[in-house]
Amino acid sequence: MTTAAAPLVAEFRFGLDAPICLTWELTYACNLSCVHCLSSSGRRDPRELTTAECKRVIDELERMQVFYVNIGGGEPTVRPDFWELVDYATAHHVGVKFSTNGVKITPEVASRLAGSDYIDVQISLDGATAEVNDAVRGRGSFATAVRAMQNLAAAGFAGFKLSVVMTRHNVGQLNEFKAIADRFGAQLRITRLRPSGRGADVWTELHPTPAQQRELYDWLVAHGENVLTGDSFFHLAGYGQELPGLNMCGAGRVVCLIDPVGDVYACPFAIHDAFLAGNVRSAAGFAGVWRDSELFADLRRPQSGGACTSCSAFDACQGGCMAAKFFTGLPLDGPDPECVRGFGEAALATADATAAPRPSGDHSHRTAPVPISIGPRPADSGAAASAGLIERSMPDRACDQSPLAGFTPR
């Protein structure tokens, strides 16, 4: 009566008063340039929400009783006001789970994080070896993530998450990922690679092969009870057994994304104008977008299964992931590109790949990645800046300041 999800799925399809799972990307700035970045992050956007605007969003989330937000980016911890916002959220009964590559998780930060029940940390790692990880996430990123995990474990932070995007090169490392998580007292979380953001450019080469999808499914069935998946593999339910979690697309129904400039999208993997519901800066705020946007109202109406309706697996897989179809140029009411029955491959073979929609924004670094942190204008820098306690400053005008202004190489 309390936990069986099956009948609730029907309720969830019609949407809830507030999202269960809200992703909030605080900045497009990132010290890395992962080849599959779902938000094409790299450079900060001058229009990003200010500290005060972020706090207003948190106030709204508190009123809406959103239990926790999944904060990401970019690399959220490079925002100078990141810890201030985390403290503000937890003080307002909004829990924070943030994703990081680990760059700012020093021993001091780790101790601080370990002291709060309302903060959870997710360390991103896409290879169980430096060779596999760094090929996707950049040189040195394996070592950075491992150091962060060592610091968290040493600080006594039990049960933080080790988050892995499954690719062709790491499906074979599942047991090794589990071993790494166990070594640091962390919980393994694996999610699906989507053709979103820069991921659109590498999806064809990086997404698991059909044989690997089966391997992944079998591994989840055998070992999955303590492994989180972000409910992202429901397209694999077509193999037979439903995987633990919510087997449905939650976009705009129980899930959404707030991006760094306040735009609200149906899900984190759908940064495209077609899935843009509104902006938190509008008069009615985030709550107004969530409750009244036409796009979300559409998503909450019964959906057509289209060509999939007659397939015996449809009840299990629900046609798969909307974003995966969209960015590979497939119709939204047809099979997922990674359909376990092979209908997606057939559809891709005849689809015009050049006609696939391109992700709307691109904040990628224009050159090779450089280690950056967001700093104030030079006039504001000083002792506070070197202590990492700098106030966030706004550019004079949009596009009038380099996102690297004030950046000091170290």
Exactly one of 35, 55, 59, 95 binds another protein (CB under 8 A); which one?
Answer: 95
Nearer to another protein, 11 or 205 (CB): 11
Segment lying near another protein (by CB under 8 A), choices 14-22, 138-146, 309-317, 369-377 = 14-22
Nearest distance in Å: CB 210, another protein: 33
Q: Which is nearer to another protein, 136 or 186 (CB)?
A: 186
Q: Select from 40, 41, 61, 68 the one that contacts another protein (CB under 8 A).
A: 68
Q: Which of 300, 296, 253 has its CA nearest to residue 275?
A: 296
Token pair in block for residue 278: 């509104």
Closest separation in Å from C-beta 178 to another protein: 19
Q: Confirm or reject binding of residue 157 to another protein (CB under 8 A).
A: no
Determine which residue in the list 11, 131, 218, 298 makes contact with another protein, applying CB under 8 A.
11
Check residue 16 for interaction with another protein (CB under 8 A).
yes
E strands along 58-176, which residues?
A: 68-72, 95-100, 119-124, 161-166
As given in the structure block, the two tokens for residue 224 are: 């999955």
Q: How far apart are CA 121 and CA 110, in angstroms?
A: 10
Q: Are 60 and 398 in contact (CB under 8 A)?
A: no
Helices (H), 187-253: 199-206, 210-223
What's the closest the beta carbon of residue 275 comes to another protein, in angstroms?
Answer: 24
Provide the minimum distance between the beta carbon of 351 and another protein in the complex, in angstroms, as a whole number. 37
Whether omega for the bond prior to residue 306 falls within 30 degrees of 0, making it cis, is no
**DSSP conformation class of 258:** E
Nearer to another protein, 8 or 179 (CB): 8
Contact flag: residue 292 with another protein (CB under 8 A): no
The answer to whether 387 contacts another protein (rule: CB under 8 A) is no
Q: Which of 47, 55, 93, 214 binds another protein (CB under 8 A)?
A: 93
When asked if residue 263 is in the footprint of another protein (CB under 8 A), the reply is no
* 118 is a contact residue toward another protein (CB under 8 A): yes
Contacts (Cβ under 8 Å, ≥6 apart) of 378: 405, 406
- Cβ 4 to another protein, closest distance in Å? 8
Nearer residue to another protein within complex by CB, 1 or 379: 1
Q: Is there binding between residue 225 and another protein (CB under 8 A)?
A: no
- Strand 263-265 and strand 276-279: the pairing is antiparallel
Which string of b and e fits 118-139 if b means at least 16 CB within 10 Å?
A: bbbbbbbbbbbebebbbbbbbe
Stretch that binds another protein, among 114-122, 190-198, 365-373, 391-399 (CB under 8 A): 114-122
Write down the least CB distance from residue 82 to another protein, Å.
20
Task: Return the HEC string of 19-79.
Answer: CCEEEEECCCECCCCCCCCCCCCECCCCCCCCHHHHHHHHHHHHHCCCCEEEEECCCHHHC
Residue whose structure tokens are 């409910």: 231
Q: Which residues bind another protein (CB under 8 A)?
A: 1-3, 5, 7-8, 11, 16-18, 20, 65, 67-68, 93, 95, 97, 117-118, 120, 159
